[in-house]
Amino acid sequence: MKWSATPRSAKSLALPRRGLARLRGSASLSGERIWRSWSLILIVAAFAAAIGWWRYVPRTVTSVRGEPLGHLPSGVRPSDLNLLLVTLDTTRADRIHAYGFDGIATPNLDRLAREGILFEQAVAPAPLTLPAHSSIFTGKFPPAHGVRDNGGFFLDDSETTLAERLRDRGFATGGFVGAYVLDHKWGVSQGFETYFDDFDLTKYQSLSLGSVDRPGDEVADKALAWLDRIGSRRFFGWVHFYDAHSPYQPPEPFASRYAGHPYIGEIAFVDSQVGRLLSYLDTHDLARNTVVVVMGDHGESLGEHGEGTHGFFVYQATLHVPLLIRAPFDSMAGRRVTDTVRSIDILPTALDLLGVQTGEQFEGASVVPLMTGARKELGLGAYSEAVYPRFHFGWSDLRALTSGRYKYVAAPRPELYDLQQDPTESKNIYPERPALGDRMQQELSALERRMSAAAPAAKTDVEVDPDARQRLAALGYVGTFVAAASSDRAGLADPKDKIELFNLMTAARETARHDRESEEALHALERVVAQDPKVIDAWFMLGNEYFRRAIELNPGFAEGHLFLAKLYLDFEQNLDEAIALARKGIELAPESEFAPLGHYVIADVYSRRGKPAEAQQEAARGRALESRHSQTPGPHSRR
């Protein structure tokens, strides 16, 4: 059909106009639909963009208690955070550069201080490795978790550790320790899926400190290999560096760099290993979502107050420890906290930073408010104890309470110090301010009552196997675990009056270890028993020496050979010598009522060296011989 150009009447145009209107209406409707469609698309796009923006824009994170923590790096959620705990054994806070000591370079610890929080007044609960670490992992003071000393105690399975809490929430957990005193048998391995404590006790001919610890670079190697293996799993890693423990033998170049100051050299070496861990986090993009905690377990006296190492007193030299925490929150960088904090605060603080809610009340407290600057003080009282004099020598134990600037030491002669005016504790102000001291004693007693009410059963009767006993002795923890029968301290000697005897014992042991014929060691031990006849270890060591001299005078003295073999097995370090003495005693008197003891000594050594068949054969000989003498009781009982 063609369209005519001839004009039409209005009537003839009516229908086309209605059609046009319909067309216009239809076009208008279509445009509206299109507009609505585009609007919907734009809304969806804007919503999606908002979600993406919200996912990556820094936003304030709150703790499980509702306190603001600050912003995390872009793309990091609280559920992404890992934890790396590094414990520095035997490390004084005042021997680290970030704490004001100019005689050392600790660039990696200094870096953590710049990028995180430095706590100026962190206090250890005990000057011994196992109790201090047990407090870190449980959030409890030693009387509450029951681990009061090294060796004779272990952390009971009833305790729930930091590692157990994080493992149960899906964290990969790995622990890497540098000394036998933290071997899994003492209980601190609870919760760790991987625990590196591979101390092969069968391979040592002569046992010494060097054979029961491992250098920090080996510990770091194992920890870094574990981080490689776990891939992208959320993790809690614990790395323990033991190097600053005596004897101080730093590797090069630190030995030369700090010639004449080997303790400082050891700390500098440990700092280099901390640097390896930090570098790994950097290169694997883990620094942005990993909380790093570095803490000393206890310090070292270095001769202050007459104490050479640690464990005997509760002065600041062994209790004031470094604590550095670097968290990815932007509110927690470059801050120094002056308030008192404790080892027991690590557990609740770590859970707070990681966003882990347990609903539990801990003896320790989260120090996050100090880290963010929300609070300047928390008013935390720090309990510390030294039970070593009591458990090993029968002298009084020591307990301390640090509250603000003051520190009270409960001893037969009480002590009170103003740490602000007298940080080295050179002036006891208790005679001048007895009222303050007595008030702090009351606070200490109330705290002890609370801890005792929740304390587990005493673990002082835990049997320590012979190998463990030897390793602990080699670590410098001398003493025969004397049970503290009660809390009654009346009449017990003040450790301040016994430090000379303790040092004599320690020196005699070290001298005898290197020179078995030392007259100096013998005379030192005789001085000890003359001044205090109740020191069991001195008598034990003297007995060792007297037996040795007896068989020198009478080489045919069979019993002397046998008993000395037993002493070497129990207390000394040379297992080959123990076997030789036992065989000589058996050879001299094969049918003696004491001969079974020789067979049992040899069986014991074979067992330790992984030779069960030989051990069983030798033990059978001893039992057979013993049965023939069953009608003649004697001191040839088995272990």
What pLDDT does 469 receive?
54
What pLDDT does 540 receive?
78
114 pLDDT more than 70: yes
- Report d(CA 108, CA 326) in Å as an integer: 12
193 pLDDT more than 90: yes
Packing angle between helix 558-571 and helix 595-608, nearest 10 degrees? 30
C-alpha dihedral sign at 346, 277, 176, 166: positive
Q: For residue 43, count other CB atoms closer than 10 A to its CB.
A: 10
Domains, the chain: 64-375 (3.40.720.10), 498-628 (1.25.40.10)
What pLDDT does 631 receive?
52
Q: What average pLDDT does range 296-313 have in this prediction?
A: 97
The tens digit of pLDDT for each residue in 428-463 reads 999 999 999 999 999 999 999 999 887 776 554 444
One-character DSSP codes across 122-160: EE-S-SSHHHHHHHHHHSS-HHHH---SSSS----TTS-
What pLDDT does 546 receive?
85
Which residue reads 């000057």 in tokens? 127
126 pLDDT more than 50: yes
Q: What average pLDDT does range 296-322 have in this prediction?
A: 98
- Report d(CA 545, CA 559) in Å as an integer: 15
- Report d(CA 448, CA 384) in Å as an integer: 11
87, 312 Cβ separation under 8 angstroms: no
The tens digit of pLDDT for each residue in 601-639 reads 999 888 878 888 999 999 999 898 888 876 554 443 333
Work out the pLDDT band at 209, boundaries 50, 70, 90: very low
Q: Between these two residues, 234 and 562, which has the higher pLDDT value? A: 234
Which residue reads 């003891």 in tokens? 597
For residue 484, what are its two tokens? Answer: 């503290």
List strand residue ranges (DSSP E) for 434-581, in order.
none
172, 233 Cβ separation under 8 angstroms: yes
The tens digit of pLDDT for each residue in 52-103 reads 544 545 568 888 778 889 999 999 999 999 999 999 999 999 999 999 999 9
Nearest one of 235, 241, 316 to 275, comparing CA atoms: 241
Report the relative pairing of strands 290-296 and 320-326 from DSSP bridges.
Answer: antiparallel
- Report d(CA 287, CA 278) in Å as an integer: 8
- Tell me, letter by letter, the H, E, C secondary structure of 89-125: CCCCHHHCHHHCCCCCCCHHHHHHHHHCEEEEEEECC
Work out the pLDDT band at 203, boundaries 50, 70, 90: low
Q: What average pLDDT does range 200-211 have in this prediction?
A: 48
Work out the pLDDT band at 204, boundaries 50, 70, 90: very low
Distances (CA, A) of 98 to 263, 265, 302: 17, 16, 20
pTM of the model: 0.81
Long-range contacts of 421-430 (CB under 8 A, 24+ apart): 423/316, 424/304, 424/316, 425/305, 425/315, 425/316
Q: Which residues contact 470 (CB under 8 A, 6 or more apart)?
A: 207, 570, 571, 572, 573
Work out the pLDDT band at 42, boundaries 50, 70, 90: low
What pLDDT does 38 receive?
65
159 pLDDT more than 90: yes
Q: Which residues contact 255 (CB under 8 A, 6 or more apart)?
A: 249, 262, 265
What pLDDT does 46 receive?
60
What pLDDT does 54 receive?
46
Helix, strand, coil proportions of the chain in percent (round to 5)?
A: 50, 15, 40
CA 372 to chain centre: 26
Work out the pLDDT band at 156, boundaries 50, 70, 90: very high
- Report d(CA 514, CA 289) in Å as an integer: 50
The tens digit of pLDDT for each residue in 539-592 reads 878 887 888 888 889 999 888 888 888 877 875 557 888 899 999 999 998 888
Which residue reads 């609370």 in tokens? 450
What pLDDT does 206 receive?
44
The pLDDT > 90 percentage for the chain reads 60
State which H helix or E strand residue 501 sits in: helix 499-514
For residue 51, what are its two tokens? Answer: 């979600």
Indicate the DSSP class of residue 415: E
471, 180 Cβ separation under 8 angstroms: yes
346, 138 Cβ separation under 8 angstroms: no
500, 209 Cβ separation under 8 angstroms: no
State which H helix or E strand residue 568 sits in: helix 558-571
Report the relative pairing of strands 82-88 and 235-241 from DSSP bridges.
Answer: parallel
What pLDDT does 321 receive?
99
The tens digit of pLDDT for each residue in 358-389 reads 888 899 999 999 999 999 999 999 999 999 99
Q: For residue 289, count other CB atoms closer than 10 A to its CB.
A: 19
126, 386 Cβ separation under 8 angstroms: yes
For residue 400, what are its two tokens? Answer: 């301390």
Distances (CA, A) of 494 to 73, 396, 491: 54, 6, 9
Which residue reads 């440990």 in tokens? 270
330 pLDDT more than 80: yes
CA 200 to chain centre: 21
Indicate the DSSP class of residue 631: T
